[in-house]
Chain A
Amino acid sequence: MTDTYQLIKDCLKGKAAAQSTLYEQFAPVMLGICYRYTKSRADAEDVLQEGFVKVFRYLHQFEGRGELGGWIRRIMVTTAINYLKRNAQYQSELSYTDMALHPVSTDNPEITVDAKELAELIRQLPPGYQTIFNLHAVEGYTHVDIGKMLGINEGTSRSQYARARALLISWLDKQSLTQKKTSYANK
């Protein structure tokens, strides 16, 4: 904590070495977050870059109440959402239209795929589903919060999340089945 405090202090003084250290410390995890929200690595790096500029710009506002990582993470998520809203490529697909409530799946399959494979599956979701799934399942935002962030109804968020979850579970099941078949074949 003291190291982090000192690092922040040095960053605020404008020390390039400290800024570089902070970036190196958090960039890999943050790129993982950006990666989940976007469809390409280049886009993810764009978000990462924009996010880190904000981190250094508003570092003086970090009050040290929570983890610095958590604070940076929130900035990255917000930056990613803004990026999706701005970017024409995502804009056309980011329609959170109201739809009939999809029954919430109670399936809780065990996830056998590794982190990167799961991230790839999440990225294959339609952008609207992908964003809501990330915000709710991974970041832990409530549907009320998501509704406010995206400017949609809470119900729409719930509905889209349910569909995204169901879709992802079905893909995981397929993947799991394929893995089993492969493992049997190997035997």
Chain B
Amino acid sequence: MPTNDFEKQVQQKMEELKFVPSEAVWPAVEKQIRQRKERRRLLLWWWLLPFLAGGSIYYYANRDANKTNKANADNVAKVHDAAIKNANTINNAPTTHATGEANAQKLNADSAVSDKSMAIRLYNRSPLYTRIYNNKGAAQIVRAGNRTTTDATDNNDAQNGVAKKQLAVKDKNKAGVGEETLMDIFDADAALRPAVVGPLGKMIFTASPAAPPFDKGASKKPARAKKKMEWVVSANTGISGISSGFSPLVKSTAALDAAPANAFQSNNGVSAGAAAGQNYIATRPSDIKPGFSFGAGLSLRRYINPTFSLEAGLLYSYYSSSMTIGKKVDSVAAVRRGASSVSGYYSNYSVLPSANNTRYQNRYHYIEIPIRVEKQLGLQSPLSVQGGITIGQLLGSNALQYDISKNIYYKDNSVFNKTQLTLSAGMDIRLWRYKTISLEIGPRLQYGLTNFFDKNVYGNRHLLFAGLETRIFFPKK
């Protein structure tokens, strides 16, 4: 008999060993399977939660922006009437400021803008920066001093109107720009705001990989404390904007810091005082509304101690914003900036309702590397706080820029700082945990450390993001 015959006999005998399980076993198994299915369904809903939340934020942000736009449109009409009145007053009013009048006339001639009272956009902000485009097309920002100014669209008398024109001409001469058209003088913020067709929305997401086939009997310990390394699948959603402040996240950008409809230029050189029903093109670019955006990615988390961890990974982020533009323009001479990659010209939107007005979605695609530190607020606490930096690279964009001199939109991605460094902070709450897999959700705030655009063109503009992030953690084998 071979040595292992005993084992073979035991194996054969044990193959025959069968028992009929009691009736209670199968219902218990079935119940657990169903419960698991329910949990999975619930998990799917949790995944959708950030998108729903982001969608809601986007909807409400847009709703507010729509209200603002409507109000602006009303203001536009009022201001337009006032402008015509002012222009008439100016034309009829006797003036002692001969030089000022001459300058004003010159400005009128140069700019072909019939509305004299709206010749200049003045802001009562201090310090005041005025953007002046020189003949070479390069943008310059000139500080106009600490003067206190008022909007030219106020109910001014004729003298005020003329005086303001003089002031504008003086400022222009001080800047040494020389002969410029009236429309060349533009407040930096206002002129560039349109071009700040920034990414105005953003979001995130998560997916659950297959769990290990066998739990190794360690489910009693807190999941986080047990594993040194964890995979993190994340998804986020929210809104984002580009500004020096946080307001763009809840308001449309241009409406934030510009008086509504300060200046008009009639379409094709037609006088602003033309017959009613004329399709007026705004010289003020469209408001930029926050857009829905999202992000999704995978990262790896390492625990330094049971409550403190480091995380790094790869994230795709999509940002968007929307604005109103006019119809596509077939042939336009080079835009002022003369960028080599310029393509796709669009006219500005019509102030009055027009079939040519369309919504344009500016899209920004980023690949990002987030690096975060996270602190769990107690070993058993479901709450944690986190912060970190994100390095992002612009993959592509269809965003439009605004050219004040031609009053058109065009595509030019050379104005972007393609690499972005962003600070982030957030808070998470653990909503669900099963053995070593857990799901967390929480608000996230991001602020760009680098300028979103070329600083020489648009000044200080930073990417902002506020939204919700969902993350699923599962152990790294």
Contact = CB atoms under 8 A, between A and B. Distances in A.
B3 interface: yes
Contacts of A36: 14, 17
A32 B215 contact: no
Interface string A81-124: 01001100000000000000000001111110111101100000
Nearest to B24: A45
B13 interface: yes
Given A45-B22, A54-B213, A115 B6 contact: no
Nearest to B213: A58
Interface stretch (B27-35, B283-291, B351-359, B403-411): B27-35
Interface in B1-39: 1-7, 9-11, 13-22, 24-26, 28-30, 32-33, 36-37
Interface in A139-167: 140, 165
B17 A35 contact: yes
Interface string A25-60: 001110111011000010011001100111011101
A109 B4 CA distance: 11
A57 B210 CA distance: 10
Interface stretch (A2-10, A13-21, A175-183): A13-21
A35 B18 CA distance: 9
A78 B214 contact: yes
A178 B20 CA distance: 29
Contacts of B32: 49, 53
Nearest to A104: B3
B17 A116 contact: yes
B217 interface: yes
A71 to B, nearest CB: 10
A136 B4 CA distance: 11
A58 B217 CA distance: 17
B477 interface: no
Given A14-B37, A28-B20, A48-B21, A82 B14 contact: no
Interface string B189-216: 0000000000000000000001001111
B21 to A, nearest CB: 5
A171 interface: no
A45 B25 contact: yes
Interface string B440-475: 000000000000000000000000000000000000
Contacts of B21: 27-28, 31, 45, 48
Contacts of A61: 210, 213
B216 to A, nearest CB: 7
Contact of B217 (A16, A31, A45, A86): A86
Nearest to B36: A57
Interface of A is mostly: helix
Contacts of B213: 54, 58, 61, 75
A138 B6 contact: no
Interface string B57-82: 00000000000000000000000000
Contacts of A79: 214
B14 A115 contact: yes
Nearest to A165: B6
A82 B214 contact: yes
A16 B22 contact: no
B6 A48 contact: no
A68 interface: no
Given A29-B18, A45-B21, A165-B6, A111 B13 contact: yes
A169 B216 CA distance: 33
B6 A27 contact: no
A41 to B, nearest CB: 8
A36 B17 CA distance: 9
A65 B455 CA distance: 62
A32 B9 contact: no
Given A45-B22, A140-B11, A115 B17 contact: yes
A91 to B, nearest CB: 11
A155 B431 CA distance: 46
A52 B29 contact: yes
B253 to A, nearest CB: 49
Contacts of B30: 16, 19-20
30 contacts: A16-B30, A19-B30, A19-B33, A20-B26, A20-B30, A27-B21, A33-B17, A45-B21, A45-B22, A48-B25, A49-B28, A49-B29, A49-B32, A53-B32, A53-B33, A56-B29, A57-B33, A57-B36, A58-B210, A75-B213, A75-B214, A86-B217, A108-B6, A111-B10, A111-B13, A115-B14, A118-B10, A118-B13, A118-B14, A138-B10
Question: Which 9 pairs between the two chains have the least Cβ-Cβ distance?
Answer: A32-B17, A28-B18, A115-B16, A82-B217, A31-B19, A115-B17, A111-B9, A108-B5, A108-B6
Given A20-B26, A140-B11, 4 more contacts: A27-B21, A29-B17, A49-B29, A61-B213
Interface of A: 14, 16, 19-20, 23-24, 27-29, 31-33, 35-36, 41, 44-45, 48-49, 52-54, 56-58, 60-61, 75, 78-79, 82, 85-86, 106-111, 113-116, 118-119, 136-138, 140, 165, 169
